[in-house]
Structure 1
Amino acid sequence: MKKLKVFSVILLVTSIGAFVAFQGYTRMIQDKKPPVVSCDSSELKVSVKAKEKDLLKGVTAKDNRSGDVSDTLVVENMSEFTDKGKRTVTYAAVDKSMNVGRAERTLVYEDYKPPVFHMTGSLCYAAGETVDVSSKITADSVLDGDLTSNIKYSLEKTVNTQAAGEYPIEFRVMDSGGNTVYLKTQISISDKSYAGIDVKLKDYLIYLSVGDAFDPNAYFDSADKEGELTVQSNVNTAKAGSYYVDYIVNAGAISGKSRLVVVVQ
């Protein structure tokens, strides 16, 4: 019986020793080192139309055990812009032990431009008409395409649709790079007689550079009734800002009005 107990103790000690040795060996051989991701340059210049394969140009990944793991490379993240048209891109690669290695570099869009607003109609209304500004403005960018669903706006005061007045409104939209652009203009409410004539323009929002020539008469298109056209403009192309031109058609007791928004930048 004593021999059996001694043998059992020896077996237990041997098993514990083997287990400890195995755990130590496992820890010794366990792969915890991630792949090394390398870029052949600290800055990459691309078009805004670049695909992921273009962003991975010059990027490699090597692992101390798995070898070349460049085929696992992905673009893990792109930051918001750190400067105009510049952002940080993060690459990631994984080895056979699921260790993830990362690297960053600066991405420069050579053809980046900020988002642009467009207007499909005038923000002029006759008293009593329904004001729906969202249906008359769109936005897009070279980076993201259509951004219309991202447009937000704010009013300085509640619009009284029953009385004539000017109501400042600010539109804003942000692209995927975090660049936000703004458009400041007005909602114009005229008296009820201005519902009598529909005045159409060739454009409702244009962008000019400081110093550009500008002829407001070139943007009038038509009116659905004959009348006298009056053009009222506060545009100053010598100074950056948001301006407008009003096109008013009078025909006796009825009138119509439309507005061109002019952004000088």
Structure 2
Amino acid sequence: MRRLQMMICLVFTVSFALFIGYQVKEKMMADDTPPVITCEEDTVSVSVKDGEAALLKGVTAKDDKDGDLTEYIRISAMTHFINSRRNVTYVVFDEANNIGTLERSVEYTDYVSPKIYMKKPFRFTASEEIEQAIREGLSAEDCLDGDLSSQIRTIWDDSYYSSLTGDYPVTLQVSNSAGDVCQVEIEMTVTEANDREENGKEYPLLSDYIVYTNVNQMIDPEFLIIGIEKNGTEYLYEEDEEFLAGTREAIRIDSKVDYANPGVYTVEYSYTGENASTAVTKLFVVVEEE
């Protein structure tokens, strides 16, 4: 009986020693050290046309047990723009699922902010479905995301009421995936559809109704004149030169643009037709910082 007890104690002791030894070995062999990501430069300059490979340029990863993990580095996140730059976060895992991360700045050499364009005058009749009509003339382009036309927001002034004629402030807004916002504050004109005088007006027709320039860089507003619009019909100088003879010279241009200061300004083109009614077309000029 005593011999059995001694055997049991011996087995227990050996088992306990083996267990302790195994635990010590596991602890010694455990991989708790994350891989380390390094980069040659804190800021990388890329083109908007470059792919992910350009963002990974100069970034390497090493692990004390798994060695070189550079090929496994991935981009986990990119921030919105901050002072024309954005930060990119890199991530890599070793075989023990330890994670290594690194953040650095990205500068785009050819980046430009998204732009909203308008190919039709911001003038509508009270009987139109104005919100739908607005969409037909608006578009937005971005060097990162491409066509953003469907994402343009129209922010109405509290005074706007669709059945009343008049001029109403409207803000057009769109943003890209990097959080950069284009916002243009313009003025919408609502006219009476059955007004005889209104139907007889001959409006100067422009190639664009929102244009962009930089501080101290003037534009030639006369260059945008392409024809005359009367009662919804467009007549172009390049096609109806004889019919429109003398009208271009009679168009008056009143520019309120302050090219020294950023902002959105108005240029008014006015033309008085044979019925003595004066029609005014508005161009909106966005002056931006360089």
- With the shorter chain as reference, the TM-score category is 0.7 to 0.9
Q: Aligned Cα RMSD in Å?
A: 2.9
Summarize deviations over 1:108-152 as a string: whole Å, max 9, x none.
111111111111322201222221223332211112212223322
The match for 2:191 is 190
8 Å CA contact 1:216–1:233 kept in 2: the answer is no
Runs of 4+ residues over 6 Å off in structure 1:
225-229, 253-257
User: Unaligned regions of 5+ residues in structure 2, if any?
Assistant: 235-242
Cα 1:195–1:67 shift into 2, 3 Å: farther
8 Å CA contact 1:157–1:167 kept in 2: the answer is no
The match for 2:50 is 50
The match for 2:110 is 111
8 Å CA contact 1:245–1:262 kept in 2: the answer is no
User: Are positions 1:176 and 2:198 aligned together?
Assistant: no
Q: What's the CA shift for 1:12? A: 3.1
The match for 2:284 is 261
Cα 1:170–1:255 shift into 2, 3 Å: same
Q: What's the CA shift for 1:33? A: 0.9
Q: TM-score, normalised by structure 1?
A: 0.85
What secondary structure does 1:45 align onto?
strand
Cα 1:4–1:246 shift into 2, 3 Å: farther
Cα 1:218–1:60 shift into 2, 3 Å: closer
The match for 1:67 is 67
Q: What's the CA shift for 1:30? A: 0.9
User: Unaligned regions of 5+ residues in structure 1, if any?
Assistant: none
Calculate percent identity across the aligned residue pairs. Answer: 27
Cα 1:253–1:8 shift into 2, 3 Å: farther
What secondary structure does 1:122 align onto?
coil
The match for 1:215 is 221
Cα 1:21–1:164 shift into 2, 3 Å: same
Distance across 1 between alignment mates of 2:10 and 2:199: 104
8 Å CA contact 2:207–2:226 kept in 1: the answer is yes
The match for 1:241 is 263
State how many pairs are aligned: 264
Q: What's the CA shift for 1:81? A: 1.6
Q: What's the CA shift for 1:254? A: 9.4
Cα 1:123–1:215 shift into 2, 3 Å: closer
The match for 1:81 is 81
Cα 1:162–1:247 shift into 2, 3 Å: farther
The match for 1:164 is 165
Q: TM-score, normalised by structure 2?
A: 0.78
Paired residue type of 2:95? K
